Chain A
Amino acid sequence: MLGRTASALYWMSRYVERAENMARLLEVGYRISLMPGAIDGHRDEWRSTLASAACDWTYKEKHSEVTTGDVIDFMLFDEDHPASVKSCLRTARNNARSVRTAITRDVWESINSTWNELAAVKPDSITSERLPVFLDWIRQRSMAFRGALLGTMLRTDNYYFSQLGNFIERADNTARILDVKYFILLPRPSDVGSDLDMHQWAQILRSVSAHRAYRWFYRDSRYRPWLVAEFLILKEQMPRSLVFSYNWINTALEGLADLYGQRYGCHTQAADTQRALKTGSMEQIFQAGLHEFLQDFIASNNQLSATIAGTYNFP
């Protein structure tokens, strides 16, 4: 397989995952802006949404004020913004197109029809009223893409590279949301571990589609910050947690090692991260500092991405 093919498969999946995460973040920001008492706070909420999506700086370069309309447009349609949903899906589709021969017809048609439909949407037509339906649609399309991938791709290197992109992006996204939101909700270290406003906490979980899952899992009517963090970092049952993502990353890397008969530094690194997450506890993490832990994690996750790219000759 060409190094470029591997790279395109990796980024194809990564960008679809990113588009889906953008849609989720936007959904949460939007819900909060609708809440009673949010009038004063909603600008802050949009700021934290932009920060969670790691695009607050890019936004500031274009807009002097934070308004609901501008944020929505920026995150959904702005073609100058490389992480807007539209830019993500374009990049994903261009990658898919460049390796049309390496993906199945179902995967291609899924991403191609998503793009065709999205390209036909006029940004003006997505008013506040239509926003929830539109965000739902993005999530649905992303899941259809993933379904096509899981259901039709041969389990060879094509598949493994696409999984790596998917889960490295997901781990990055979950870690960032947790980092940004946690510290907005808990401004003082002494508050860590206390119970805070239910609604606010529900939003972190909602932004990773886990608010109901949390309740089923912990059988608890309250959202406890400690448990929310645990759920998103250490719980293997939670499909957007860091440990879950690293289980998949390791499976994919092991698949490549078997196929190519060769292990590299990226295998060791991913296995180390996975082990740390599997055996870690929240006590340890909080003692060392959650923020520090998440910052380290994000950096090492990026590092893994770069190592994989170098190892498998991405251009």
Chain B
Amino acid sequence: MAVFAAFRKEAGVQVRFRLPALQFQVLIAVQQSGEGMGALFNEMGELGGKVRQPYARIEQWLTSLPPEHAARAAREAEGIFRRKGITFAVYGDGEAAERLIPFDIIPRIFAAQEWRRLSAGIEQRVRALNAFIHDIYHRQEILRAGRVPRDIIIQNEVFVPEMVGVNPARGIYAHIIGIDIVRVAENEFYVLEDNCRTPSGVSYMLEDREAMMYLFPDLFAKQRIAPVENYPSMLRKTLESVAPPACVADPSIVLLTPGIHNSAFFEHAFLADEMGVELCEGGDLFVSDGYLYMRTTQEPKRVDVVYRRIDDAFLDPLAFRPDSALGVPGLFDLYRAGRVSLVNAPGTGIADDKSIYTYIPDVIEFYTGEKPILKNVATWRCGEPKDLSYVLDHLAELVVKEVHGSGGYGMLVGPTSTKQQVEDFRAKLKSRPANYIAQPTLALSTVPTFTQSGVAPRHVDLRPFVLTGDQVRITPGGLTRVALAEGSLVVNSSQGGGTKDTWVLED
């Protein structure tokens, strides 16, 4: 597991968002302004100039908010988070330390109209992703049609052959998806990454809203902001709706966590509590007589739906990694037999792998018959000769990364690299081109953010959370992550990334 590198120092242009707690694997490409690349899109508008409509009230509030009041609120927010224990663990220091994710008190805002468009794109995308996974583990029509190369799927280590022919309840695989979206202009949004395995961060979305309502209740009284607090009950409904065929009574649900040392443990406990379901570790569950049970202080109790927050490989030592102490022996057999539901299903990584990402627009068209509403970031597959020659010609402008790499290792950030680094990388790229993809750098939008030196624009992304069961449910907004850089773009690793409350205004 990667160390909390937060932001890599060389990220004058390339900002690396890495909060393992949230399993953020987002790569944000940022373009330096002032190099003739055009102005960055500030979502509030010009500071002191023309303000975009959704931010009208917040701009007034900001200009009238005394700095000492803002500073006090920021301190209070930190106190709340620390006391509640809203922390994530930092790996690498021997013992896992706990840190806070900084919370910024200035919200990020979408107008109802903007959100309608975004959520239509999100819904289209998650429906296609689920159809794609179903197809991959059944007839593989998309491979037969030649729209996605067979090798990329079959030889991918995230492809789970044991899932072939398995029929999950309602045919849904990725019940919870987090889609990482960036914005570069008024009407230009890009999907950076899909997270179809065990996306996290939703607890921060909920706690950020709690903190905002606690600190600035007036703001909520003055305008209609779509609530997010029903996420846990929607999640519960989603889980109930995918109970296995063998479940006849009210489904009994548990959340399966790797335990308190996991970086996202706070979120596991939080969601279990909010949904009113047991928070289990592997050792609390066992298989007997063809059913799953939990060990209670009384008789063993049947379990029907497992919202698991452990990775595929650890789910069941009999089916996957035999050294896993986190899972439940025999769980996967029960799953295949329709005795228990796993959420998300094993093998969903096939829909969010970096090597598949470039095919997602085709995937959407193939299953929905529609053009994708949300765009992908343009990506060159270096394994294809035409793309490779383009990439080699433009190496100094591009971001080149390993297809299967994680953590930003072995990647090239053209604009911030020296000539020598670029040339060294060129050699690596030529020797194994299929191992790399390349993307342009993007001018990410900014949102005003409270900093030591006053209010200043900072780059943001967005992770909306999408639930799929009996229907698709999207929480208005999502988690906004903000790069709390000291300078305009250079991100200091000691500062880490922060989060903001995300508002969707109602008409």
Contacts and interface: CB of A to CB of B under 8 A. Distances in A.
Q: Do A and B come from one complex?
A: yes
Interface of A: 1-6, 94, 97-101, 105, 108-109, 112-113, 116, 157, 161, 256, 260, 262, 312-313, 315
- Scoring B270, B278, B294, B298 by chain A CB atoms within 10 A of each residue's CB, the highest score goes to B298
Nearest to A311: B297
Given A3-B297, A97-B260, A101-B272, 6 more contacts: A2-B284, A2-B297, A101-B278, A108-B85, A260-B298, A313-B295
Contacts of B278: 2, 5, 101
Nearest to B265: A97
B83 A101 contact: no
B308 to A, nearest CB: 16
A203 to B, nearest CB: 37
B52 interface: no
A2 B294 contact: yes
22 contacts: A1-B297, A2-B278, A2-B280, A2-B297, A3-B284, A3-B297, A4-B281, A4-B283, A4-B284, A99-B279, A100-B85, A100-B269, A100-B270, A101-B269, A101-B272, A109-B84, A109-B85, A112-B84, A113-B83, A262-B298, A313-B296, A315-B284
Interface string B71-103: 000000000001111000000000000000000
Contact of B273 (A2, A4, A100): A100
A99 B297 CA distance: 14
Interface of B: 82-85, 259-260, 265, 269-270, 272-273, 278-281, 283-284, 294-298
B265 A101 contact: no
Nearest to B278: A2
A37 to B, nearest CB: 44
The B contact surface, by secondary structure, is mixed
Contacts of A313: 295-297
Contacts of B272: 101
A3 B283 CA distance: 10
Contacts of A5: 278, 297
A312 B269 contact: no
Contacts of B84: 105, 108-109, 112
Contacts of B294: 2
A1 B296 contact: yes
Given A4-B295, A101-B273, A112 B265 contact: no
- Scoring A6, A97, A256, A262 by chain B CB atoms within 10 A of each residue's CB, the highest score goes to A97
Given A3-B284, A112-B83, A112-B85, A97 B297 contact: no
Contacts of B260: 94, 97-98
Contacts of B259: 98
B292 to A, nearest CB: 14
Contacts of B297: 1-3, 5-6, 157, 161, 256, 260, 312-313
B435 to A, nearest CB: 41
A3 B295 CA distance: 6
Q: Which 6 A-B pairs have the closest CB atoms?
A: A100-B269, A101-B273, A312-B297, A3-B295, A98-B260, A6-B297
Contacts of A98: 259-260, 269
Given A1-B297, A97-B260, A101-B273, A116 B283 contact: no
A315 B283 CA distance: 8
Contacts of A99: 279
Contacts of A97: 85, 260, 265, 269
Contacts of B298: 260, 262
Nearest to A256: B297
A100 B279 CA distance: 9
Contact of B82 (A3, A101, A116, A260): A116
A256 B270 CA distance: 27
Nearest to B270: A100
Contacts of A112: 83-85
A4 B273 CA distance: 16
A80 to B, nearest CB: 13
A315 B294 CA distance: 12
Contacts of B85: 97, 100, 108-109, 112
Contact of A315 (B269, B273, B295): B295
Nearest to A101: B273
Nearest to A112: B85
Contacts of A108: 84-85
A162 to B, nearest CB: 13
Contacts of A315: 283-284, 295
B361 to A, nearest CB: 41
A315 B280 CA distance: 12
Contacts of B284: 2-4, 315
A103 to B, nearest CB: 10
B164 to A, nearest CB: 34
Given A108-B85, A109-B84, A112-B83, A101 B296 contact: no
B267 to A, nearest CB: 11
B83 A2 contact: no
A83 to B, nearest CB: 19
A112 B81 CA distance: 11
B73 to A, nearest CB: 20
Contacts of B296: 1-3, 313
Given A2-B278, A98-B259, A109 B83 contact: yes
A184 B323 CA distance: 52
A5 B85 CA distance: 19
A260 B298 CA distance: 7
- Scoring A1, A101, A313 by chain B CB atoms within 10 A of each residue's CB, the highest score goes to A101
B365 to A, nearest CB: 44
A137 B278 CA distance: 35
Contacts of A256: 297
A263 to B, nearest CB: 13
Contacts of B279: 99-101
Contacts of A101: 269, 272-273, 278-279
Contacts of A109: 83-85
A5 B281 CA distance: 10
Contacts of A105: 84
- Scoring A2, A99, A262 by chain B CB atoms within 10 A of each residue's CB, the highest score goes to A2
- Scoring B82, B260, B294 by chain A CB atoms within 10 A of each residue's CB, the highest score goes to B260
A220 B270 CA distance: 54
A68 B259 CA distance: 39
A157 to B, nearest CB: 6
Contacts of A161: 297
A100 B84 CA distance: 10
- Scoring B85, B279, B280 by chain A CB atoms within 10 A of each residue's CB, the highest score goes to B85
A108 B85 CA distance: 9
A312 B296 CA distance: 7
Nearest to B254: A2
A255 B272 CA distance: 26
Contacts of A94: 260
Nearest to A97: B260
Nearest to A108: B85
Contacts of A116: 82-83
B263 to A, nearest CB: 13
A3 B284 CA distance: 8
A3 B296 CA distance: 5
A157 B296 CA distance: 11
A113 B84 CA distance: 9
A106 to B, nearest CB: 11
Contacts of B83: 109, 112-113, 116
